[in-house]
A and B are shown apart, each in its own frame.
Chain A
Amino acid sequence: MVRPLVPRAPFPLNAPMQDIGSPDAGSDQTLEDRLLAVGRDRDRAAFAALFGHFAPRLKAYLRRQGCDAAGAEELVQEVMLLVWRRAETYDPAQASASTWVFTIARNKRIDVLRREQRPEIDPDDPALVPALVPDRPESADRRLETQESAGRLRAALKDLPPEQAELLRLAYFEDKPHSVISIERGIPLGTVKSRLRLAMERLRKALRDTA
């Protein structure tokens, strides 16, 4: 019998995690803390806790991308192994743990399901045109900011009008560009675009609002 490894209710992004069967269950460690512990100490208990949190979400994500149950199980394991191997490169000032895991899962499924490369920038490329205003260097502050903005983002996501939230989920979960979504759902392309733009405007405002 398959039993859920985590409670069905979603975790708040940066709130204390409740985990089943991990030695430090009930501690107030965030996902980010645990990811850092894996990167720093190869902490298996922290990894198990991350698995408990992310594996069921990754499975749901991969199923929506068209994986069958067995394929999704296998791919979840591959993604979690990458999390283990790459944890050392995780920088909490740049992204929340969920965002970081999302990008790993996205790239892995493009690689495995589509057998395509995903072209990405190389941050060390001398041809990269730098930002006009350089990133603030204080890492501790930026980590806090990243966590706070992730919290605001989740709140803003809940407040989106349903038709915007629905399109946003399709755009991120169904491996279809917005032009295809428009055709398949019978929604005019202009409407798809304007809903996605409006949604992104609200979310961007929430992310950037430092008040």
Chain B
Amino acid sequence: MTVPTHHPGDTLLIDYAGGALDEAVSLAVATHLALCPCCRLNVAEMEAVGGALLEEIEPEAVDPTSLEAVLARLDEHPPLPRAAAPVRPSKPVPVPLIPEPLRRYIGDDPSRLPWTRLMRGMDCCDIPLSRTLSGPPGSRSKARLMRLGPGVGPPHHTHRGIELTLVLDGGFTDDLGQFGRGDLSVADGSIRHRPVADEEGCLCLAVTDGLLRFTGALGLILNPFVKF
């Protein structure tokens, strides 16, 4: 098994460890973490920073009756059972194509998803997230799966916010290099990138926190359909 070579970078991982990312962006980062032991270690260290910051925060007195109130409720809250130790099967289990946490959103068989064709060789499928009660509609990030046929490149586009693309199967190549399973591409407004799917095609998770704008002639046709 190879490990990814394109990573989210420290600042995005700090946002994840601190809990500042919304669900869609967290989903892309956490699914990358499943495939990237090195970023998992980084996040564990960043959580340790969170623990140290909590330790040195200026404490704020709690209501003196609060402890009593909690102690009185302990018996209503039996310990959560420790998860059973995973049974180690004697022969290797097949590796699911879709790692957690993405698998609990979409299952492990992308062919069964309700794909929408955007153009020849390019399909997409929106991923439902928790309903958000705060914030104006459309202000949150969106997550979708994209499926590109061999050699297919989406029309040139720019981003208002950031776009994260996590490769799940196959790969693509753009100005920044080759991206395979587990690699995460982070593109912001300054990048006008032109990814092209490799020979085996590409299945990826795409998350964007701003309106995606295709540039060029095809963009005029596609923009109404791809409202991120």
* A residues neighboring B (CB under 8 Å): 1-6, 8, 10-11, 13, 39, 42, 44, 47-48, 51-52, 55-61, 63-64, 72-73, 76-77, 80-81, 84-89, 94-103, 105-107, 109-110, 114-122, 124-132, 149-150, 153-154, 157-158, 168-169, 171-179, 192-193, 196-197, 200, 203-204, 207
Q: Scan residues 84-119 of chain B and give those whose CB is less than 8 A from a CB of chain A.
A: 86, 93-103
CA distance A119 to B106 in the complex (A): 13
CA distance A1 to B64 in the complex (A): 8
When A and B form their complex, which 9 residue pairs have the shortest distance between CB atoms, in order from nearest? A99-B51, A56-B59, A98-B51, A127-B99, A131-B37, A119-B101, A122-B100, A106-B19, A172-B18
Is B46 at the interface (CB under 8 A from chain A)?
yes
CA distance A124 to B93 in the complex (A): 12
* B residues neighboring A (CB under 8 Å): 1, 3, 10-11, 14-15, 17-23, 25-27, 30-31, 33-37, 40-42, 44-64, 66-67, 69-71, 73-74, 77-80, 82-83, 86, 93-103, 129-134, 161-162, 182
**A86-B80, A117-B23, A178-B14 given as contacts; is B3 within 8 A of A132 (CB)?**
yes
Which residue in chain A gives the minimum CB-CB distance to B23? A116
A105 touches B34 (CB 8 A): no
Specify which chain B residues have a CB less than 8 angstroms from the CB of A177 in the assembled complex: 15, 20-21, 25
Specify which chain B residues have a CB less than 8 angstroms from the CB of A192 in the assembled complex: 11
CA distance A168 to B45 in the complex (A): 14
Specify which chain A residues have a CB less than 8 angstroms from the CB of B134 in the assembled complex: 114-115
A171 touches B14 (CB 8 A): yes
A88 touches B82 (CB 8 A): yes
B55 touches A85 (CB 8 A): no
B99 touches A96 (CB 8 A): no
CA distance A129 to B181 in the complex (A): 11
CA distance A6 to B62 in the complex (A): 10
Given A72-B60, A178-B15, 17 further pairs, Cβ under 8 A: A2-B63, A39-B79, A64-B57, A85-B77, A88-B82, A102-B53, A103-B47, A114-B22, A116-B130, A119-B27, A126-B93, A157-B53, A157-B56, A172-B53, A177-B25, A179-B162, A192-B11
A157 touches B49 (CB 8 A): yes
B74 touches A47 (CB 8 A): yes
Contact of B132 among A61, A116, A118 (CB under 8 A): A116
CA distance A176 to B25 in the complex (A): 13
A59 touches B132 (CB 8 A): no
B61 touches A56 (CB 8 A): yes
A81 touches B73 (CB 8 A): yes
Specify which chain B residues have a CB less than 8 angstroms from the CB of A61 in the assembled complex: 54, 57
Specify which chain B residues have a CB less than 8 angstroms from the CB of A122 in the assembled complex: 34, 100-101
Specify which chain B residues have a CB less than 8 angstroms from the CB of A105 in the assembled complex: 54
Specify which chain A residues have a CB less than 8 angstroms from the CB of B33 in the assembled complex: 121
Write the nearest CB–CB distance from B145 to chain A, whole angstroms: 15
Write the nearest CB–CB distance from A173 to chain B, whole angstroms: 7
B47 touches A95 (CB 8 A): yes
Which residue in chain B gives the minimum CB-CB distance to A59? B60
**A119-B101, A127-B95 given as contacts; is B59 within 8 A of A203 (CB)?**
no
B78 touches A85 (CB 8 A): yes
**A122-B101, A178-B15, A200-B14 given as contacts; is B93 within 8 A of A99 (CB)?**
no
B52 touches A154 (CB 8 A): yes
CA distance A178 to B101 in the complex (A): 24
B26 touches A119 (CB 8 A): yes
Specify which chain A residues have a CB less than 8 angstroms from the CB of B18 in the assembled complex: 106, 171-173
Which residue in chain A gives the minimum CB-CB distance to B32? A121
A89 touches B59 (CB 8 A): no
B96 touches A127 (CB 8 A): yes
Specify which chain A residues have a CB less than 8 angstroms from the CB of B25 in the assembled complex: 177
Specify which chain A residues have a CB less than 8 angstroms from the CB of B58 in the assembled complex: 8, 60
B20 touches A76 (CB 8 A): no
**A56-B59, A175-B19 given as contacts; is B41 within 8 A of A131 (CB)?**
yes
Specify which chain A residues have a CB less than 8 angstroms from the CB of B86 in the assembled complex: 124
Which residue in chain B gives the minimum CB-CB distance to A63? B60
